[in-house]
Amino acid sequence: MLPFYLSRYGNPHSRTHLYGWESDAAVEEARARVARLIGADPREIFFTSGATECNNIAVKGVMHFYRDRRRHVITTQTEHKCVLDSCRYLQQEGFEVTYLPVRPDGLIDVAQLADAIRPDTGLVSVMAVNNEIGVVQPLEEIGRICREKGVPFHTDAAQALGKIPIDVNQMGIGLMSLSAHKIYGPKGVGALYLRRRPRIRVEPQMSGGGQERGIRSGTVPTPIVVGFGAACEIAAKEMDYDERRVSALQQRLLDGIRSKVDDVVINGSMEHRACTSASLEPSYVLRALGVDEDMAHTSIRFGIGRFTTEEEVDRATELTVHQVLKLREMSPLYEMAKAGIDIKSIQWSQH
């Protein structure tokens, strides 16, 4: 990225001089690298500021483009806030939205999805990997159902890119949101995948000079786009290795905690998972899984990545075990639960 900040600072949209051409070539190289990682054509990749922007373009853009015929969107209760907020925005404009529930393992029921599709459904938006609990939705099945019913399938793949293999054709994906900083790339850049055949149209959210084929006006930020391309190239090479390492570290963390602490509960499917995923807020994602409020409050998300070491996992285990045991020592509830008392049955006050 450095040369593109320091010496090769041409505007990639300047067609009349060498500085422009070299920046343009670098942007196109990055586009090809992003495309390669997901089995797409470079012409289907549009650079944006990140997954938030992609999700806005996908959800609002598709519905606005087809607004006269398609009035209904299907999504899930556990999407990232930017998808949920975009859907709320559409509702204020008079569109209808179905928020599919998830099962206790965090995955949607595909039969329920199929039933929810209506003749006026304009978009199905289901995230690939959940950012709190790491579960992977059955993308291929969702893609097949959407293809059969002729509804574009959008997936927020911010947490999936570089972690699980993605093939837009095999998975029947029509639109996909990507973010560079989730794969160790720079912050503030992402890409929208938009299928060419059959072509999916969106109403741009940004008006202006028509860059990125009119989908996203504004000067493309060459240095960070180059960084995103490099991150994709590395992810393609390292994905298998990273996956094995992260799985082993995940197991080490789990075994380490379970060897010293009983009654450990894992939120979300263990089979369909890209990672083990801290928030102190009562999480709406966990509530959607049917996790009780007290259990949602007591959850911790552990994030393990390419640069996490065994020593760090062991230290996290040690700290977690220490604090949990300390809290249990202090709490009368733990002893009561052990004695077989249902804590939920306790009357806390006299009111």
What residues act catalytically? 275
Site mask, ligand PLP, residues 128-147, x = CB under 6 A? Answer: ---x----------------
* Interacting span for ligand PLP (CB under 6 A) from 47-55, 62-70, 98-106, 245-253: 47-55
Establish whether the linkage from the previous residue to 198 is cis, with ω within 30° of 0.
yes
**179 lies in the site for ligand FES, by CB under 6 A:** no
**155 lies in the site for ligand PLP, by CB under 6 A:** no
The answer to whether the beta carbons of residues 142 and 76 sit under 8 Å apart is no
DSSP, collapsed to helix, strand or coil, labels residue 90 as helix
- Smallest gap from residue 52 Cβ to ligand FES (A): 16
- Site residues for ligand PLP, window 186-205 (CB under 6 A)? 190
Beta strands in the chain (DSSP E): 45-48, 72-76, 96-100, 121-125, 153-156, 175-179, 190-194
Pick one of ligand FES, ligand PLP, none as the site partner of residue 82 (Cβ within 5 to 8 A by kind).
ligand PLP
The CA-based dihedral angle spanning residues 127, 128, 132, 133, taken in that order and rounded to the nearest 10 degrees:
130
Side by side, the strands of the sheet bearing 175-179 are: 45-48, 190-194, 175-179, 153-156, 121-125, 72-76, 96-100
Closest-by-Cβ residue to ligand PLP is 50
**235 lies in the site for ligand PLP, by CB under 6 A:** no
Pick one of ligand PLP, ligand FES, none as the site partner of residue 212 (Cβ within 5 to 8 A by kind).
none
**222 lies in the site for ligand PLP, by CB under 6 A:** no
DSSP, collapsed to helix, strand or coil, labels residue 121 as strand
* Interacting span for ligand PLP (CB under 6 A) from 114-122, 152-160, 200-208, 265-273: 152-160
Q: State the Cα–Cα distance between residues 155 and 160, nearest whole angstrom.
A: 10
Chain residues binding ligand PLP by CB under 6 A are 50-52, 80, 82, 127, 131, 156, 158-159, 179, 190
Chain residues binding ligand FES by CB under 6 A are 131, 134, 159, 275, 277, 303
